[in-house]
Structure 1
Amino acid sequence: MLKLKDIQTPIAKELELFEGRFKESMRSPVPLLNRITQYIIKQKGKQMRPMFVFLSAGLCGPINDSTYRGASLVELLHTASLVHDDVVDNANERRGFFSVNALWKNKVAVLIGDFLLAKGLLLSVRNDEHRLLKIVSEAVEQMSEGELLQIEKARKLDIEEHIYFEIIRKKTASLIASCCACGAASTGIEEEQIQLLQTFGEKVGIAFQIKDDLFDFGLDDVGKPVGNDIKEKKMTLPLIYALKNTTKAEKRRIINLVRNHSENKEKVAEVIQFVRSSGGMDYATEKMKQYQQEAFDILNNFPNNKYRQALEQLVRFTTERNK
């Protein structure tokens, strides 16, 4: 399987330059702010979001200053949302590091999130990047709506498939869609092409989330505790399908296990076994492949250059990864 570093080859120089520009975009005259933002930068993940921005831009036209601002804007607003999420979830870890709220308490964490949000807004406004700001602001709006929709539906623990897809479209896919749209928009390409790449990103984001959900019912250690979604009472596609295709009595029994016994390892294992034996994983895998193919079909509308090939590889990486 391809490594992420190989996929980054066409934009390796741009990603390296972006790191410096992103650090600069977070700078502040307040020492505490600088200490915390430097700590956040050290936790950077796989750089998937900037990759989608730069590769989408390369696909549509020359990568330029606007592209770097688009990538920084996405990262600033996304990082702000992660810091706030950790406060909401009372989480003490993020990517194997202590979270900001664990080290500096909730008040500081909320203020840091607000600061990053403001930095993103100012970066856009000061450079007249109103199109990019609109794209990313709409994504943040959808992410918030998706989270709240999930919280609302989690109380019932009996959601239908179309609600699940609405949640992940807003909560996860909207961000990747905004990365692709920002990359395209930064080149000044026509609106129709921007929309195409936004839809491409949405398809990839949905496939990515289904893959993530599948890990919860796997057998191997993938860096995410098996059964973690069940413990958090999240209704994911494999479980939704399995519940839909069983008897009413069994459905009531499984929902009762999730609702009242999600901390019991044996009961969680029982739910996992139910999903695996009910064809839930096979169904979710087929759905993931469907969205993957739809993403590939959209890319076929663009020139077959090194950026398109890297995007195709990146789609495969997100849906065929082991963790």
Structure 2
Amino acid sequence: MFATLFKNQRFQELMLSLDEIKKPIAAELDTFEGKFKSSMQSSVPLLDRITHYIVKRKGKQIRPMFVFFSASLCGGITEATHRGAALVELLHTATLVHDDVVDNSYQRRGFFSVNALWKNKIAVLVGDFLLSKGLLLSINNGDFGLLRLVSDAVKQMSEGELLQIEKARRLDIDEKVYYEVIRQKTASLIASCCACGASSAGANEDTVEKMRLFGEKVGIAFQIKDDLFDFGTDDIGKPLGIDIKEKKITLPLIYALNKSGSSEKKRVINLVKNHNEEAEKVSEIIDFVRNSGGMDYARSQMEMYQNEAFAILNEFPEHESRRALEQLVRFTTERKK
């Protein structure tokens, strides 16, 4: 009981601390918001209404924070930093709009998705528009290095998604494939944020690569945390089972399957493959993972990648932005949702 109370209290502190983490770059983030909105403007009234809707429902600014703090750590925030952050947000938002169409999803962060309100055809065109705005923003300002970094991330995100789809059909994913999927699908974006920040500050290639690797470690830890949400813990709450329903083989389940005998493994794979829509069977899979140590193993791997990210940060001199990045990493891996 006391452990649960402590964890809940810890989460509240983390939520409150996000505004504290932002403080050193609060003015820069406010300026960025205005520039980001301007970067989405169009002469077509329908597009303006939709992009206004998107901006009003933005997230916690985690990605721009990684860009700005990385720039600050590696030389200082510049105009190119603002453009790099906008590029990341434009291209990422484009992929989210397209993802909702592909997944037939009608909600995004608790609000109606673009395709739910304006249908699939318009949503696809809006995603294309945002992609083109990001490309033009970089080309018109000669930010070819930033464009290369973010374009590579978008390519990897697409490859990771397709690899996951391919493996989900056969349910033959192992840890090696799992890490390749999340490295491409999730970690590549955070890696590009940190690399863009460093590059925009004029850092050399070695430093840019070091920050990219830092972001990749953070992104992997972030995704493993998401995996844990699906199975629920005392500090996370009720299990979701969404990944199971989508036949996604995540780290806790991979570990549990590897630790089980052949007959048990076949039985659980059959449940995932053929009974993933049945609430009772989903609960059975969740119990199997919990009882097999899958949660503990995934948590230990998450902490390992988190510590590897900290080790990279510690190679930089003591700096306010280094401390802020440490706090931001803790926020992303200790969040409740």
Scaled by the length of structure 1, the TM-score of the pair is: 0.98
Identify the residue that residue 286 of structure 2 maps to in structure 1: 272
The CA deviation at 1:158 is: 2.5
The CA deviation at 1:219 is: 4.3
Aligned pairs for 1:150-165 (under 5 A) are 150-165=164-179
The amino acid of 2:94's aligned partner reads A
Q: 2:143 aligns with which of 129, 134, 145?
A: 129
The answer as to whether partners of 1:219 and 1:226 remain within 8 angstroms in 2 is no
> Does residue 1:305 correspond to 2:288, yes or no?
no
Q: 1:64 aligns with which of 78, 81, 92?
A: 78
Identify the residue that residue 208 of structure 1 maps to in structure 2: 222
> Does residue 1:5 correspond to 2:26, yes or no?
no
SS at match of 1:216: helix
Identify the residue that residue 29 of structure 1 maps to in structure 2: 43
The answer as to whether partners of 1:204 and 1:292 remain within 8 angstroms in 2 is yes
Identify the residue that residue 254 of structure 1 maps to in structure 2: 268
Distance in 1, matches of 2:117 and 2:253, equals: 36
Distance in 2, matches of 1:11 and 1:279, equals: 41
Runs of 4+ in 1 over 4 A off after TM superposition: 219-225
Q: 2:310 aligns with which of 292, 296, 306?
A: 296
Deviations 1:12-54 (A, max 9, x none): 1111110000000000111000000000001101111000000
The answer as to whether partners of 2:138 and 2:147 remain within 8 angstroms in 1 is yes
SS at match of 1:262: coil
> Does residue 1:92 correspond to 2:100, yes or no?
no
The answer as to whether partners of 1:64 and 1:186 remain within 8 angstroms in 2 is yes
The CA deviation at 1:290 is: 0.4
The answer as to whether partners of 2:235 and 2:336 remain within 8 angstroms in 1 is no
Structure 2 runs not aligned, ≥5 long:
1-12
Q: 1:101 aligns with which of 115, 119, 123?
A: 115
Deviations 1:206-235 (A, max 9, x none): 000000100111146959961111111100
The amino acid of 2:214's aligned partner reads F
The amino acid of 1:238's aligned partner reads P
The answer as to whether partners of 1:213 and 1:236 remain within 8 angstroms in 2 is yes
Q: How many residues align?
A: 323
SS at match of 1:46: coil
Cα distance change, pair 207–224 in 1 and its aligned pair in 2 (3 A): farther
Deviations 1:99-132 (A, max 9, x none): 0001111110000000000000000000000000
Deviations 1:141-177 (A, max 9, x none): 0000000000000011121100000000000000000
The percent of aligned pairs where both chains have the same amino acid is 70
The amino acid of 1:63's aligned partner reads I
The CA deviation at 1:6 is: 1.1
The CA deviation at 1:301 is: 1.2
In angstroms, what is the RMSD of aligned CA positions? Answer: 1.2
Identify the residue that residue 169 of structure 1 maps to in structure 2: 183
Distance in 2, matches of 1:100 and 1:279, equals: 40
